[in-house]
Structures are given as C-alpha cells and as structure tokens.
Amino acid sequence: MEPYLSDLRPSIAAIIAARRAQLGVRLSSAALIICIFQLQTGLSWALAWGVTYFTVQLVEYFVFRKVDETRAMARSAERVFFALTMANSAAFTSFGLLLAASGSWGVMCAGILWSGTIAHVTINSGGSRQTLQCALLPPVLAFFALPGFILRDGGNLTDCITAVAAGLFSGFGTVAMWNVYQKLLKSATRAREFGRQAQFDSETGLPNRAALNQRTDELASTASGVVVVAAIGIDRFSHLRGAIGHAPMVELIAQLAERLSSAFNGIPVMRLSSGHLGLAFVARDMAEAFHLAATLQGAVTRPLQLRDTHVDVSVTIGLSEAADALQHAADLAILDRALIAVEQAREARRHIASFDAKLYGNPGATLSLMSEMSRAFDNGQMTIAYQPKYDLRSGAIVGAEALARWDHPERGALRPDLFVEMAEETGHIGELTEWVLRRAVRDQHRLRAAGFNLSIAVNWSGHLLDDVGFTDTALEIARGAAGKLCLEVTETAIIGNAGLARQTLERLRAAGLTISIDDYGSGLSSMAYLKNIPADELKIDKAFVLNMATDPVDAVLVRAAVSLAHSLGLQVVAEGVEQQAALDLLGEMGCDLAQGYLIARPIPLQDLVAYLGDRATDPASAAV
C-alpha cells in the first residue's frame, strides 16, 4: 500500500502540475481569441456602419434632397424581425453546443462564436433592446449546459469556471459594444437631424436661408462676375394663404420653387421666409442680373396647377449684390438687403428692384434719434410752432394748430413728418403727443394772459386711439386747459381702427374736446364712413386747396367737401391756403376756417402773440 501510494503521489502531483500549466495556456489563449474576435467584429462592423453612413450622406449631398428618417417598424414587421433574430441566434447556439460537446476547445470556440453572433445581430438591429434580448437568450440558456459537457469530457470545476467566465466576458463585451454602437447611432441621427433642420425648411423640404448663405459664400469664393442674391416675394401672400389654406399654400410654394428653378437652369431655390423664396446666381453685371430676374418673373406668368385648380401667382423680386453687402457687412447681411429690396420694389410699384441704401436710410440712426427725443423735450431742441386758423366770416384768428419742431444740433431742423412717423413706429408717439399737449395747455394759458382766447389744435396720431391709458392721461391734462382744445386725427387712422377709435373719440368729445378730421380727401376712403365718426370739424387736405384757384377740378372737389361737411353738421377748415384767390373762393363756397402761408406760417408762441397783437391794434394788417 505504502510503495503504491508513494508511486502515486508524484504522478498525481505531476498531473495536477500539468493541468495547472494547461489551465494557464487555456485561459490566456481564450482571452486572446476573445479579444481578437471582439476587436475584429467590432472594427469590421464599425467600418461597415461608417461606410454606409457616409454613403448615405454623399448621396444626400449630391441629390440635395430630404435626409431619410429612421422610421419605426410596423408591429407585425417587428415581430417577424425578432423571430428571425431569435432563430438566427438559436441556430448559432446549437452549432456552438455541438462544438462544445466535442471537447473543451470546442467550448471556447462556441463561446466566441456566440458572442460574435450576438454582436452581429445587435449591430444590425439598429439599437433595439428587444433585439439584443432575442439574440442573448439562446446562448445564455446554452451556457447552463456547458458545465455538464465539461465535466463529462473529463474536465474539472476550474474548466467549468474558465468556460463560463469566457462566456460572460464575451457577453459583457457584446453588451458594451452594443451600448457604444447605440450612442454612435443616436448622436449620428441627431447630427443628421440638426444638419437637416439647419439647412432645410421643415414645411416644404426646400433648402433654407442657411443653405442660401452657404451657396452665396461658395459662389463668391469661386465664381468670376457679380454674385447676386434674389429674394422672390410672393405677392399678396397672406391674402392668398387665407384664400386657399395653409397646407395647399405650402404645396404651392414648393411648386413655385420648382418652376423658378427649372426656369433658371435648375439652380436650387431656397425658402427664406413664409412668403419669400430666394436664390443666388452669378451675372456679368447688374444689368444682366435684372435681365435674369425678369426671366424668373416670366416663369410665373403661367398659372400654377394646384390639385384641380389653377392658381395665379405673381412675384416681386429684390436683388442684392454680394460684394456691395460685404463692404457694409456690419449693418445688413446680403440676404436681408435682398428682402428689403422686395419691399422697396413694392413701394415703388415695380416688379424688380435692387437694394437702395439711400432709400433704406439708416435705421440705427433712427433708433438713436428716438432715444434722443426724450432729452430733446427738456433741452430746448424740441419746440412748438403755432399756425393760426382764420375765421373766413369774422376775419378773426380763432385758433392755432400746434406743430412740433425739432432743431437737432447735428442734423439741423428735422422734418416733423419724419420724426412723427419714426415715433409712431418705435412706440414713442405717446411721449411726443403728451409733451405737445402739455405745452399747448401751458401756452393757451399764456395767450389767455395776453388777452387772446384761441382754440388750440393738437395732432393726434391714429396709434393713440386704441390706447385707453393714454386717453386717460390726455383727459387729465386737458382738464387744466384755459380754453377750447381740438384734436386733429387723420381720416385713415379712424377708418383703420373703427371700433375702439369711435369709443375713444366719443370719450374725448364728451369731455369737451373738439375732434377734427385731418387731411380729408388724401386717403382712398369712401364718404360713407363720415356719418359714423364722432367729429366736429373737417379739414380739407392741402393737396386740393393749394391749386384750387387755378385748377377747376380741385375747386369742384373742395366745394363738394364743404357742402358734404355742412350737411353732416361739421365745421369746415381748408388748409394750405397760399393764394388770395383761393381764400376768396373758399369764402364764396361758405368754408368756415382757413389755414395757410397766406395767413401765417407756423410760428413760435412769442411771434404768435406779436402777430395777434398787431392784428388787434392795426386793422389793416388783419385784412388778409
């Protein structure tokens, strides 16, 4: 027993040593194979994925069309896909099991094979968690059978642990790869989506402003000649959209873009805003650019076919020169210049115009001017000139119109219609009117103190008619007046604003203010609205009065206005009386009041006091 045992011990020890040595080799070769395999699968799939991605990008770039979107699979298609994944994985698992049954090395190969299968399937699955589960399930189940094979094959517990560890390692590697792949996929999809949004209009799928800017830059750096951007404004856009509906309008725009593009050798047409398309092209000079723009316009003379109907569309084109815009890069981009040119063309009632910097003026200066206005009230730059209103029957001055005057230290005397319009557009008109009204009330007291009782008229912007708060303030100020106050409101302001304007005017009248309809006849309004306006006075626009003594048509119109106003119970004022003959004619027509250079120009308060004083003391000077 003893010698037998002593023989056996070294041989067992040798076997154990050999086994241990074998284990090291097995472990290291298993790890090596797994690493190489994971690396190889990972790299090859990453490569395949990258190539596909860039191919798609290239195709999109050259075809210049919409980028595809990853669409969710339909439910049934999804089920078939999962079943296929499961079957695929199960087939490989079975094959792996077969290999495993043939020995310990077979077990290693099976593990590697399975993990490869899983990697393949998951990467192909597009990052679906369910697909990963379908692919993982068969090999995970198969792993439970592994220890049995190993032990049967003469392996021991260490072998079992080695095999299971290799499988787990492989599994974790697969899951890690899946995660990396998912992140790549997501960020790539997001990047593509961002890229798409940045370059394309979401409604029509047409390239957008950014794309046009890019194209302009490309042309500017490569082409010889004048690089021009054309903004194509769809005329009466809102009206048309209201008439045909939003969705058909989008269709119409896409069709229009196609029409314009094909008229221009397939140049891409972009969408710049809801009602504007645009494109960039190269011309020899601006004359040729106008000629090419006319071709574009010609392309829409034929109506567009929308579903079953023909739709007539006309466009106005604004051109802007890239080189010109670059010189003034700080103030306006080339694209904005083209868009402004569309407006300039429309205002000039033309079909095509190039950007006119002089016409556009200097909005930066406008803004700074408005910020200066508040200071102008206090530092004496802003003053008021009063223009007398003459009573044709009594020959007396019965009122005066307060007209704002701004003597700017750098820009000289600013035209009131200019800064009044700016104030209206920038929301400063309330400030200006309040200042004028306070001054008018103060000056009326001064006139009163000098012995003159005049009705003072203040020009009232239409923008103020729907400002209830402002009306409250104005009424508060008017309460302190020393005599009659009159508000001159243009007819267009009242008509454009019928509901609230009426209420405001009624409130003002109820408080004792006189309402005068200014610039009567200058708008294109119908006479019918007159009966609905709560007013006391009608002021005939100077355009009809200036030449009424020589132009019989003007005279007829003034006569008609006088009789219309009287029959509506309104007092009539004629402004712009420059000639004695006109004044005489107005007297004969029965006009009540006259205002104009013949009587007096707008003058400062002290001059007005002097003027009124002269008239009172010297009856000869009172005769106009």
Q: Tell me 314's DSSP state.
A: -
Contacts of Ca ion in 38-77 (CB under 5 A): none
Q: Which of 159, 336, 443, 518 binds Ca ion (CB under 5 A)?
A: 518
Minimum distance from residue 543 beta carbon to ligand C2E (Å): 10
384, 607 Cβ separation under 8 angstroms: no
User: Under DSSP, is residue 304 helix (H, G, I), strand (E, B) or coil?
Assistant: strand
| Helix (H) / strand (E) containing 487 | strand 485-490
345 part of the interface to ligand C2E, by CB under 6 A: no
Interface with ligand C2E by CB under 6 A: which range of 115-123, 158-166, 296-304, 573-581?
A: 573-581
Q: What is the C-alpha to C-alpha distance for residues 448 and 170, in angstroms, rounded to an integer?
A: 103
User: Under DSSP, is residue 540 helix (H, G, I), strand (E, B) or coil?
Assistant: strand
131 part of the interface to ligand C2E, by CB under 6 A: no
159 part of the interface to Ca ion, by CB under 5 A: no
Strand pairing class (397-408; 412-414): antiparallel
* Cβ closest to ligand C2E, residue 38 vs residue 461: 461
Q: Which of 146, 296, 342, 436 binds ligand C2E (CB under 6 A)?
A: 436
Amino acid at 315: V
Q: Which of 336, 424, 488, 491 binds Ca ion (CB under 5 A)?
A: 488
Q: What is the C-alpha to C-alpha distance for residues 422 and 580, in angstroms, rounded to an integer?
A: 35
Interface with Ca ion by CB under 5 A: which range of 139-147, 202-210, 343-351, 451-459?
A: 451-459
248, 306 Cβ separation under 8 angstroms: yes
Q: What is the C-alpha to C-alpha distance for residues 624 and 612, in angstroms, rounded to an integer?
A: 13
Minimum distance from residue 462 beta carbon to ligand C2E (Å): 9
Interface with Ca ion by CB under 5 A: which range of 249-257, 367-375, 458-466, 565-573?
A: 458-466
Strand pairing class (276-283; 352-354): unpaired
Our CA dihedral for 37, 175, 26, 19, rounded to 10 degrees, sits at -170
* Cβ closest to Ca ion, residue 519 vs residue 537: 519
Strand pairing class (276-283; 270-273): antiparallel
User: Under DSSP, is residue 302 helix (H, G, I), strand (E, B) or coil?
Assistant: coil
Size of residue set near Ca ion by CB under 5 A: 4
* Cβ closest to Ca ion, residue 207 vs residue 576: 576
Interface with ligand C2E by CB under 6 A: which range of 92-100, 472-480, 552-560, 575-583?
A: 575-583
What is the gyration radius of the CA atoms in the chain, in angstroms?
44
578 part of the interface to ligand C2E, by CB under 6 A: yes
Token pair of 373 as six digits = 């206005």
For the beta carbon of residue 614, count every other beta carbon within 10 angstroms: 12
User: Under DSSP, is residue 480 helix (H, G, I), strand (E, B) or coil?
Assistant: coil
Minimum distance from residue 546 beta carbon to ligand C2E (Å): 6
Binding mask 456-475 for ligand C2E (x = CB under 6 A): ---x-x--------------
Q: Which of 320, 596, 608, 615 binds ligand C2E (CB under 6 A)?
A: 596
458, 478 Cβ separation under 8 angstroms: no
Helix axes 104-125, 2-63, angle to 10 degrees: 20
Q: How far is CA 374 from CA 114, 409, 417, 492, 616, in A?
A: 81, 15, 17, 28, 38
| Closest to 258 (Cα-Cα) out of 300, 219, 230 | 300
537, 457 Cβ separation under 8 angstroms: no
Contacts of ligand C2E in 527-566 (CB under 6 A): 542
Residue written as token pair 């995970």 = 140
Q: Which does 372 bind (CB under 5 to 8 A by kind): ligand C2E, Ca ion, none?
A: none
Residue 317 has φ and ψ, to the nearest 5°, of -115, 130
Minimum distance from residue 404 beta carbon to ligand C2E (Å): 4
576 part of the interface to ligand C2E, by CB under 6 A: yes
519 part of the interface to ligand C2E, by CB under 6 A: yes
* Cβ closest to Ca ion, residue 372 vs residue 519: 519
Minimum distance from residue 519 beta carbon to ligand C2E (Å): 6
Q: Tell me 462's DSSP state.
A: G
Interface with Ca ion by CB under 5 A: which range of 8-16, 61-69, 204-212, 513-521?
A: 513-521
Contacts of ligand C2E in 600-619 (CB under 6 A): 602
519 part of the interface to Ca ion, by CB under 5 A: yes
* Cβ closest to ligand C2E, residue 488 vs residue 554: 488
Q: Which of 372, 491, 518, 592 binds ligand C2E (CB under 6 A)?
A: 518
* Cβ closest to ligand C2E, residue 438 vs residue 507: 438
Size of residue set near ligand C2E by CB under 6 A: 22
Interface with Ca ion by CB under 5 A: which range of 264-272, 383-391, 477-485, 487-495?
A: 487-495
Length of the chain counted residue by residue: 624
Minimum distance from residue 386 beta carbon to ligand C2E (Å): 11
420 part of the interface to ligand C2E, by CB under 6 A: yes
Contacts of 104 (CB under 8 A, 6+ apart): 26, 150, 153, 155, 159, 163
Residues that bind Ca ion (CB under 5 A): 459, 488, 518-519
Interface residues with ligand C2E (CB under 6 A)? 387, 403-404, 416-417, 420, 433, 436, 459, 461, 488, 518-519, 542, 575-578, 595-597, 602
